Structure 1
Amino acid sequence: MYIITLNLTEKKGEAAAHMAAHNEWIAKGFEDGVFLLVGGLKPQGGGAILATCDDRSEIEARMAADPFVREGIATAQIQEVSPARADQRLSSLKVAVA
């Protein structure tokens, strides 16, 4: 499982021009079963993604394909998480909790 943050750069003013493509990219992540949650970071802006995938290189390639990352509007920080415990409310997530 991965927690990914999208941190805006000095080019954040160009985000509106790429928002439709970014939203299509997000939709594809959900369609592919990789994205579990996507949302905005408050109050600073940017975004966060909770993703599941067996191969980190696939996550890295997916993030590089994000129009915001590709155009330099945001940088992606990928943090791998190895869940050890989860609340029952998260039982629907595709994670192997030890």
Structure 2
Amino acid sequence: MYVVLLSYTAPSEEIDGALPEHHKWLGEQYDQGHFLASGAQRPRVGGVIIVRPMDRARLDAILATDPLAVRGLAQYEVIAFSPTRTAPELLLINEAAPH
């Protein structure tokens, strides 16, 4: 699994203009089963995405299609992790834990 931290690199007006396309892109990634959770950081300096396990090159290719990336409005930090413990509510998404 991955945690992706987005950091905005442009003024909020430019970010706001790209958010409708970014939200559409997020929806497409959920529809394809890639993303598990996402949302804005507080304070509003970027976002966070939790991603299912996949090849890192595939994730990088997906992130490159984000309208925020295409427009150069955000930087991405990708943190890979292997969950070894999960709350019962999340067992279905923890593909590493025995069910």
TM-score, L = length of structure 1: 0.90
Where does residue 46 of structure 1 map in the other structure? 46
Q: Distance in 2 between matches of 1:12 and 1:73?
A: 10
Q: CA RMSD in A?
A: 1.5
Where does residue 37 of structure 1 map in the other structure? 37
Cα deviation, residue 76, structure 1 = 0.9
After superposition, residues 14-93 of structure 1 pair within 5 angstroms as 14-93=14-93
Larger deviation, residues 83-92 vs 62-71: 83-92
The C-alpha deviation readout for 1:39-65, integer Å capped at 9, x for no partner, is 111124210000113211111011111
**Counterpart AA for 2:63:** M
Q: Which runs of 5+ in 2 are unaligned?
A: none
CA contact (8 A) 1:12 1:74 kept: no
Cα deviation, residue 12, structure 1 = 4.0
Q: Which runs of 5+ in 1 are unaligned?
A: none
TM-score, L = length of structure 2: 0.89
Taking structure 1 as reference, are residues 26 and 20 closer, same or farther at Cα in structure 2, changes over 3 Å only? Answer: same
Q: Distance in 1 between matches of 2:12 and 2:44?
A: 12
Taking structure 1 as reference, are residues 87 and 94 closer, same or farther at Cα in structure 2, changes over 3 Å only? Answer: closer
**Counterpart AA for 1:59:** L
Q: Distance in 1 between matches of 2:70 and 2:4?
A: 16
**Counterpart AA for 2:31:** E
The 4+ residue runs of structure 1 with deviation greater than 6 A are: none
Q: Using the aligned pairs only, state the percent identity.
A: 29
**Counterpart AA for 2:79:** Q
> How many correspondences in the alignment?
98
Q: Distance in 1 between matches of 2:38 and 2:74?
A: 15
CA contact (8 A) 1:12 1:73 kept: no
